[in-house]
Structure 1
Amino acid sequence: MKGLWLLAIVAFLGIDPRTVSRINSLKEQARKAYSAGDYTTASRIYRTLVDSLGVSEEEVKLNLAHALFAANDSSAADRYQPLTVSRNTPLRSIAQQQMGVLSSRSGNLEGALDWFKQALRANPANEDARYNYELVKKKLEEKRKSDGKNNKNEEPSDYAKELKRLAEELVRQRKYSEAFNLMQEGLKKDRTVAYFDEFIKRLKDVSEINK
């Protein structure tokens, strides 16, 4: 009787039992292919489920993104992106985490850090996102230190020289905080302003004393 009721419900919903059976079979085939490390086959089957058979389950869409990622397919980001706004917070966190990994791989450390932050906000228990966040944060700090050292040895541009002249004028007026802020803003626009790093540090110290 239960079987008859199930068939009646499926018929009422307009779902072909053969399609349901095929979908379930393909899901299992994709799972086995992924587990065996055959990511190309797994992604092909998941594409069929999502793109051809119209399977809308976010878990299946996430599995497709994972398979593409594992196969080094550049379209993985296109599959993760829509899932970063999912209402399913654990799933959303995973998608955001993976976008962070892809950003990091492409060299966009700032973007990666932001994705990992979003992943942790969605799910603070996401330890992979937390580990990646700390790792990228450290890399970014090291990169900034290295860039700062390189910039100190780079000759200042005319803009940087003029900025320092204006800052020195403010110092003569005892406007230390304004001078410091001026140089800080200049650093954001012109990296050669870092040539005057010692001057900027002195301005910071004096402005803090005179607060």
Structure 2
Amino acid sequence: MKAFLFILAFFQIAPGAGDDKGRRGNAMYRSGEFMDAANLYRDALVDVQSDGPGGIHSGLLNNLGASLFRQGDFEQAASAFSGAVRMASSGDDGVRAMYNAGNAVAMQDQFETALEYYTRALLADPTNQDAKFNYEYVKRRLEEQEEQDQNQEQEKSDDNQDQDQQDQDQQDQSENQEQQQDQQNQQEQNQDQQRQDQQQQAQNPEELTREEAERLLQALENEEQQLLREIQKMDVRPRRVEKDW
């Protein structure tokens, strides 16, 4: 988030107020020794643990969160800032902690939660320009993220539809190939059967059934009797041979 305004609101522990560890932690923080500063703030918090809400307690939690934030531990920083909000006894302490908490969760891309923190800070202090700037920036980032998510969902849906269509086309093609193969196999079987039938007919002449044989014999007998009757009608008496000499 390069354009993000993450200027942290720091709590200054006044001399004589709270534990000396807190003031030493502030010195470490200002010198850039954030890990040592965080350890001193933790030690100081142990000493005020039983004090309940108050400016010192809230301030130590806030500065612990700032030290963790500078180390890049945004999750633990957000937890410390959230504790500072709960322990705040004044409006200024609460605004400072809410603003910082918004920064920490925004760095984790938790934009909706960040907007909630900024909104609470602005309701308590409408003049807080840093909170206003970050609110507008994070709001735009959230809109971009939602649009990107929608585009990704649409692309995913389109890809799924394309894959489904491709799978259906492949299935149809496979079924057509199987159907064509079945038809070809059936055609080959029919041709084989036809050849077998022709060979069998050539090897085994067609035999007459008993009824067909009887009809054939009867027909032959009828033809023979008819022929005899015709012969009997013919004049078969011997003719006299006349000599021509």
Q: TM-score per shorter chain, which class?
A: 0.5 to 0.7
Q: Residue 152 of structure 1: CA displacement?
A: 4.1
Distance change (3 Å), C-alpha of 1:144 and 1:87: same
Structure with the greater alpha carbon radius of gyration: 2
Uncovered stretches (5+) of structure 2, i.e. residues with no partner: 1-14, 161-245
- The answer to whether the 8 Å contact 1:103/1:109 transfers is yes
Distance change (3 Å), C-alpha of 1:51 and 1:149: same
Distance change (3 Å), C-alpha of 1:84 and 1:29: closer
Match in the other structure for 1:65: 65
Match in the other structure for 1:27: 22
Tell me which of the two structures has the higher relative contact order, counting C-alpha pairs closer than 8 angstroms and 6 or more residues apart: 2
Q: 2:99 aligns with which of 97, 100, 110?
A: 97
Q: Residue 64 of structure 1: CA displacement?
A: 2.1
- The answer to whether the 8 Å contact 2:19/2:44 transfers is no
Distance change (3 Å), C-alpha of 1:112 and 1:24: closer
- The answer to whether the 8 Å contact 1:49/1:55 transfers is no
Aligned length: 139
Q: 2:35 aligns with which of 40, 62, 70?
A: 40
Q: Residue 102 of structure 1: CA displacement?
A: 2.1
- Separation in 2, partners of 1:79, 1:97: 13
- The answer to whether the 8 Å contact 2:62/2:84 transfers is yes
- The answer to whether the 8 Å contact 2:38/2:67 transfers is yes
- The answer to whether the 8 Å contact 1:65/1:80 transfers is yes
Match in the other structure for 2:82: 81
The one-character-per-residue Cα deviations of 1:79-116 (angstroms, maximum 9, x if unpaired) are 21122243411221221222222222222212211221
The one-character-per-residue Cα deviations of 1:123-171 (angstroms, maximum 9, x if unpaired) are 21222211110111111122223333444442499xxxxxxxxxxxxxx
- Separation in 2, partners of 1:29, 1:132: 30
Distance change (3 Å), C-alpha of 1:150 and 1:77: closer
Q: When the two structures are superposed, what TM-score results if normalisation uses the length of structure 1?
A: 0.55
Which secondary structure state, in structure 1, belongs to the residue aligned with residue 136 of structure 2?
Answer: helix
- Separation in 2, partners of 1:63, 1:99: 12
- The answer to whether the 8 Å contact 2:68/2:77 transfers is yes
Q: Residue 53 of structure 1: CA displacement?
A: 5.5
- Separation in 1, partners of 2:98, 2:39: 23
- Separation in 2, partners of 1:40, 1:125: 33
Distance change (3 Å), C-alpha of 1:55 and 1:47: farther
Q: When the two structures are superposed, what TM-score results if normalisation uses the length of structure 2?
A: 0.49
The one-character-per-residue Cα deviations of 1:60-79 (angstroms, maximum 9, x if unpaired) are 33222222222233422222
Larger helix fraction of residues: 1
